[in-house]
Structure 1
Amino acid sequence: MSDVPLEYSRDELIAALQLDPAYARRFWNAFGFAQGADGDGQRFSKADLAALSVFAGNDQAMDSTAQLAAARAIGQATARLAQWQAEEITRLAADPNVEATTEQMVEALARVQDMVWRRHLAAGLTDAGRDSEHTEVVVGFADIVGYTSMSRRLGMTELESLLETFESAAHAIITGHGGQIIKTIGDAVMFTVSDPTAAAEIAIDLHGLTADGELPSLRIGMARGDVLMRMGDAFGEPVNIAARLASSARSTTTLIDDDLASALRDLEPLHVSPISSLSVRGYRKLRAFKLVRDRNWKR
């Protein structure tokens, strides 16, 4: 592990940042760290202090709302990643065929994580320089049909294998068509893609995953429009509509909104057909369309 001197307790770090104690508790909690009366026992270096001072503690730092939002985004994403890493390291440490020590695996993961993060960050900065936070995209949700009842029948190992297969295959398809996975929510994946035709191909290829029976059937909803991209997440009416369409879709079916249907209507061999208006939460008469690869396709 690192030999960098750890010179500050948490309370000393907060004092050096000149943070109000009440605000410091909110800031610390936003990272996902509970703050007891005697601190959490962690120690920090001068480099830690310098890094945190970019976000908090001086007049040049970002405002408090942005500070807390950044802390929450970092804390939530990192906590999930660290939990998975801890489970994997524990599993590998118990494997007699793995020669690396726990300390070596932690160091290796830290370096790999930094390498991957920097590549994604560079790509993100390029995209951010090209687009504003408000951008027109297609938002999609793909759900596993019958997941709740399935989770009651399957053992934990089988369930883990199912979700890993689904997430891995969905990631390959979505990114392969130029899309971006926003988040996975257990039995569902949320994604965005700028090109409507690519969105249609993603939906068709995702349904193709279930053809050999390796995965259960999916239902997909997609909507096109302006969204707010913030902290790695997407917000706006297309997100709400896509989620409602996915929930309303039948097994093996893709439902899309009016805007996306207009963009795809004349693109062969894709076929778009209207269905009855949907009455869903927030929308009494939501126009919806069924998307298939061609008009002769039956399921």
Structure 2
Amino acid sequence: MSDETLPEGGDVARALLGQEPTLTAAEAAAKAGLPLREARRLWRTLGFPERGDERAYNEDDVAAIAAVSQVVTEGLIDFDLALNVVRGVGLSMARLADWEVGALIQRVEDAFVEDGGRGAAPTAAADWALERYGDRFEVILLYAWRRHLAAAVARIESTRAIDADPHTTDLTVGFADIVSFTALSNELSREKIGDVVEVFEARCGDVIAANGGRLIKSMGDAVLFVNADALGGFETAEGIIKVVGRDKRMPDVRIGLATGSVVMRLGDVFGPPVNLAARLTAVARRNRIIVDRETADLLPKDQIETRPLPARPMRGFGVMEPLTARRV
């Protein structure tokens, strides 16, 4: 790698975006055919700070703004719906970028130096990695998006076969969290606790997918997942306990399951079963599964044994009788 290809002055934008920023926000908006006010809203919704009158934009920014403008102009969606979609893109890509950098930066810097790069400047190393491997990561990104899009459409079709509202359906919702995570965080180093969270998320994700479920979101010390039926939810919960709670190198977990009608919006799920599943974890013993009555009634009695626990108040639900569930 020659000195001329190294980014100077820590210019991350030029190194990673591949173009000099030559346009102001007003100029970029005008070239994209969108009012400046709307262009600024798109920019903020993607999660980027405004740059005033600074020349901080390039032709790729124009192309992105123009693409949204054209879809709105052609009447497929209105601007508010476009903002909804853009918000999801921004949130997902921001997390993905942080995830990739956190996971790869040390290896990328080492490989950059091994290849003859001077020092281990993150910007120079990232530029080198993008030049060599960026197109392959883009293939994975597009492939995963298309696959997930196909799966999302299939879920909508399945829901519509049962209910006229594709956003509302009956699901079993699971909430799994690490026991005493705050205390654990105080005992372990930042590197160690990061490793625990990474392994917890990865193992939960594997189990959820293997049992036909869907990981809705991860919150570091907890995951929220859904399954189409109660038995699938139980088997997912059972699998998480097996690969996390039964591993002596990992902390214990608690899992709550609740079944009922949920609303699916913006990649998330909402409704009483979501809140109840989280509440049930608070009464679960270590490496145990606690379910609500609706879930218990749907579990096959010849495979799963449920036993009621003493009734107790559940915030937002009044007095309820949770049940333990275990395989016969």
Q: TM-score, normalised by structure 2?
A: 0.80
Task: Render the CA deviation track for 1:167-187: whole Å, top value 9, x for unaligned.
Answer: 111111111110000010010
Is residue 2:176 matched to residue 1:160? no
- Quick check: 1:11–1:39 contact (8 Å CA) kept in 2? no
- Quick check: 1:31–1:72 contact (8 Å CA) kept in 2? yes
Is residue 2:258 matched to residue 1:231? no
Which of the numbers 188, 202, 227 marks the counterpart of 2:222? 188
Alignment of 1:79-98 (within 5 A): 79-96=94-111
Task: Render the CA deviation track for 1:107-139: whole Å, top value 9, x for unaligned.
Answer: 332222112222222222222233211111101
Is residue 2:151 matched to residue 1:116? no
- The aligned length equals 292
Compare the two structures and name the one with the higher helix fraction.
2
The answer for the alignment partner of 1:76 in structure 2 is 91
Which of the numbers 77, 81, 95 marks the counterpart of 1:66? 81
- Quick check: 2:29–2:65 contact (8 Å CA) kept in 1? no
Pick which of 200-209 and 189-198 moved more.
200-209
CA distance in 2 between partners of 1:117 and 1:281 (Å) = 38
What RMSD in Å do the two structures reach over aligned CA positions?
A: 2.6
CA distance in 2 between partners of 1:26 and 1:276 (Å) = 52
Pick which of 221-230 and 79-88 moved more.
79-88
The answer for the alignment partner of 1:297 in structure 2 is none
Which of the numbers 38, 49, 62 marks the counterpart of 1:34? 49
CA distance in 2 between partners of 1:47 and 1:73 (Å) = 19
Alignment of 1:149-298 (within 5 A): 149-209=183-243, 210-264=245-299, 266-294=300-328
How many Å apart are 1:215 and its aligned residue? 1.5
Q: Which runs of 5+ in 2 are unaligned?
A: 1-15, 116-124, 160-165
**Residue identity in the other structure for 1:110:** E
Task: Render the CA deviation track for 1:227-256: whole Å, top value 9, x for unaligned.
Answer: 111111111111111111123322222111
User: Match of 1:94, SS?
Assistant: helix
The answer for the alignment partner of 1:127 in structure 2 is 155
Distance 1:251 1:89, change over 3 A: closer
Which of the numbers 2, 7, 14 marks the counterpart of 2:29? 14
Distance 1:279 1:123, change over 3 A: same
- Quick check: 1:89–1:105 contact (8 Å CA) kept in 2? no
CA distance in 2 between partners of 1:159 and 1:13 (Å) = 44
CA distance in 2 between partners of 1:37 and 1:47 (Å) = 20
Structure exhibiting the larger radius of gyration computed from Cα positions = 2
CA distance in 1 between partners of 2:23 and 2:150 (Å) = 32
Is residue 2:80 matched to residue 1:52? no
